[in-house]
Amino acid sequence: MEVAPQLRPRAGLEVVAGDVGEAVPSYAQAFQVVVNIEVKPVATVPRRTPGASEEADRLWLEHARTAAVIDDEGCFLVRGADRDWVRVRRTAHTALSAALVPGAGSMVIAMSPDGRRLCALTEEDDDYWIVVHHFEDPLM
């Protein structure tokens, strides 16, 4: 199990053993939700302001917790190198903004372990966006 190359080691995530449930939407489905032209962020941070990446990480964590994307053990799913999702745990050094490639419109999508919710940190033009989505029904 390995996270996608852009997430290691910069994002400070610990890979955790465990299967990803079959009801979890694919990474492609989650990606389409986040890049949808109608998506509206729950929060934005201008990238040019001092401390922007730290503020984006703080807001991502706040919204990920509120949306129950992170479980009681600090775990969630991220894109894997060779598969759709890998289970990871937050550490004291977790900073998802460190995995974003400036100017590339990159993103990190975190999915709840049950596949019902996601919270993404994206780079959109001159801002960081935090996007939260709740899937209406689990996939069967």
Could you tell me if 139 and 24 are in contact, meaning their C-beta atoms sit under 8 angstroms apart?
Answer: yes
For 52-77, how does the pLDDT look when each residue is reduced to its tens digit (9 = 90+)? 999 999 999 999 999 999 999 999 99
Model pLDDT, residue 2: 65
In terms of pTM, does the model score above 0.85?
Answer: yes
The tally of CA atoms less than 13 A away on the side-chain side of residue 74 is 11
For 11-50, how does the pLDDT look when each residue is reduced to its tens digit (9 = 90+)? 888 888 877 877 899 999 999 999 988 999 999 999 999 9
Mean pLDDT of the chain: 87
Sign of CA dihedral 26, 67, 18, 88: positive
Alpha carbon distances (Å) from 127 to 86, 92, 100? 27, 25, 12
Please name the helix (run of DSSP H) or strand (run of DSSP E) that holds residue 53, with its range, or none.
helix 52-66
